[in-house]
Structures are given as structure tokens and as C-alpha cells.
């Protein structure tokens, strides 16, 4: 039961983090948040091209 | 210093950086500036050593525009598609696309992105798996990417559990 709760809790936090990170990145592009704000959320830019 | 990428796109795409963080930028004929930002998804899959290094979240939006000059411009779609084509030159790269829900226009974004995807998918030879509830999230990869089934299952489980919990 504890293990199930832990998995559920992880799922909630991962999906919620993806959604909240998306909002933060969109705000950064619009100039409403800084790189520092994104770093505080643990967001890392990538250069895959 | 901004570095021009050699992409065959109607608008020139530049690699720029802000506080040493890299992203991409192009300017339309109406002087509208688009930023294209890729984010590493390693934090979302910390226990999956295969997925965490190959999955990136795509983000793009207007960063600067001249008021009153916004018009339909097909070259925006073609330029974004060119960036995505270049991204998928990395065979194992996987893209996560999430529709921003800040202003409740996520459905419009989904429709537009789907239209763009359908216009270019055959040329790209890519597959897209969509989740619609509780958020619009898509996983996109090349057809020959062996990571896709694994990532699909991983995200499906996460989203189903999240949907159950937040009911």
C-alpha cells in the first residue's frame, strides 16, 4: 500500500512538474520570468540541434 | 554572439544564449521574433538512464512583436518544421510537446500543432502519440526510434495515475 502511494505520489509530481515547467518556460519566452526563475525550478536548457 | 544555423528554412534561424543558456530564434517579415527553446527532460525520468538523456521538451512562442502587425504567415510553420527536422537528425531524439494551459488556449494550440504535424509528418517520417486528458501532451519521435514504446508506456502510466488521483 505504501509503495503504491509512493508511485502515485511520484506520478502526480512528475506530471504536475511538466505542466508547471511548461508554464514557466512560456512566461520566460514572453519576458515575464528570468533564467534564474527557471534555474530555481531545476529547468535545464538543451542544445539538441 | 548569435550563430546562424544553416537550416533550409524561409527565415534564418540563430542560436542565441541568455546567461549561457542556449536557445533558437528567428524573425519574421513583420519583425515578430520567435524563440524556440528545448528543455532537457532528465528531471522527469531520473531513474530511466536511457530516456533521460534523449528526451527534450519543445517550446516556442512569440518573444517580441510589433503591435498590430500580426498576420497569417505560412513561413512560420515551415521554419518551425525545419527546426524539428533538424532535431530529428539525432536518430534517438524524442520530443515532448506540451500545450501551455496558462491562458486556457491549450486546445487551440493543440489544433494548430496537429495541423502543422499533418502537413509535414510524411516528409519527417515521424510518429506522434497524443494524450488529451488531463493535459494535451504529445510524444514525437522518428519511426525507427526504439525508445518510443518504452517512453510511451512510461508516460502513459504516469498520466493515468495522475488522472486517477486528480479526479
pLDDT (tens digit per residue) in B123-154: 778 889 888 877 888 999 998 888 888 888 88
> Do the chains contact at B39 and A25, CB–CB below 8 Å?
yes
What is the pTM (predicted TM-score) of this model?
0.88
Residue partners of B106: CB distance under 8 A and separation at least 6: B99, B100, B135, B136
Any A CB within 8 A of B83 CB: yes
B-chain residues near A44 (CB < 8 A): 39-40, 42-43
B55 with B145: CB under 8 angstroms?
Answer: no
Domain boundaries along the sequence of chain A:
2-40
Any A CB within 8 A of B47 CB: no
Comparing CB atoms, the residue among A26, A44, A49 nearest residue B100 is: A26
Burial class (CB in 10 A: 0-12, 13-18, 19+), A6: exposed
Helices (runs of H) and strands (runs of E) counted in chain B: 4, 8
Burial class (CB in 10 A: 0-12, 13-18, 19+), B48: middle
Residue A46 to chain B, least CA–CA distance (Å): 5
What ipTM was assigned to the predicted interfaces of this complex? 0.86
Domain boundaries along the sequence of chain B:
3-165
B140: β partners: B95, B128
Q: What is the pLDDT of residues B42-51, one digit of tens each?
A: 888 877 777 7
Amino acid at each position: 500500500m505504501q509503495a503504491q502511494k509512493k508511485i502515485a505520489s511520484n506520478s502526480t509530481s512528475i506530471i504536475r512538474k511538466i505542466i508547471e515547467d511548461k508554464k514557466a518556460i512560456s512566461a520566460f519566452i514572453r519576458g515575464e520570468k528570468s533564467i534564474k526563475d527557471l534555474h530555481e525550478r531545476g529547468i535545464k536548457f538543451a542544445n539538441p540541434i | 554572439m548569435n550563430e546562424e544555423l544553416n537550416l533550409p528554412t524561409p527565415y534564418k534561424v540563430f542560436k542565441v544564449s541568455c546567461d549561457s543558456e542556449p536557445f533558437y530564434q528567428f524573425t519574421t517579415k513583420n519583425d515578430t521574433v520567435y524563440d524556440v527553446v528545448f528543455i532537457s527532460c532528465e528531471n522527469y525520468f531520473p531513474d530511466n538512464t536511457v530516456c533521460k538523456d534523449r528526451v527534450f521538451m519543445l517550446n516556442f512562442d512569440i518573444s517580441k512583436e510589433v503591435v498590430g502587425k500580426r498576420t497569417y504567415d505560412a513561413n512560420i510553420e515551415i521554419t518551425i518544421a525545419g527546426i524539428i527536422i533538424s532535431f530529428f537528425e539525432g536518430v534517438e531524439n524524442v520530443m515532448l510537446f506540451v500545450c501551455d494551459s496558462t491562458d486556457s488556449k491549450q486546445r487551440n494550440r493543440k489544433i494548430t500543432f496537429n495541423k502543422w504535424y499533418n502537413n509535414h509528418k510524411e516528409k519527417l517520417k515521424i510518429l506522434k502519440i497524443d494524450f488529451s486528458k488531463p493535459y494535451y501532451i504529445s510524444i514525437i519521435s522518428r519511426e525507427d526510434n526504439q525508445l518510443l514504446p518504452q517512453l510511451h508506456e512510461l508516460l502513459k502510466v504516469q498520466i493515468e495515475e495522475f488522472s486517477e488521483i486528480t479526479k
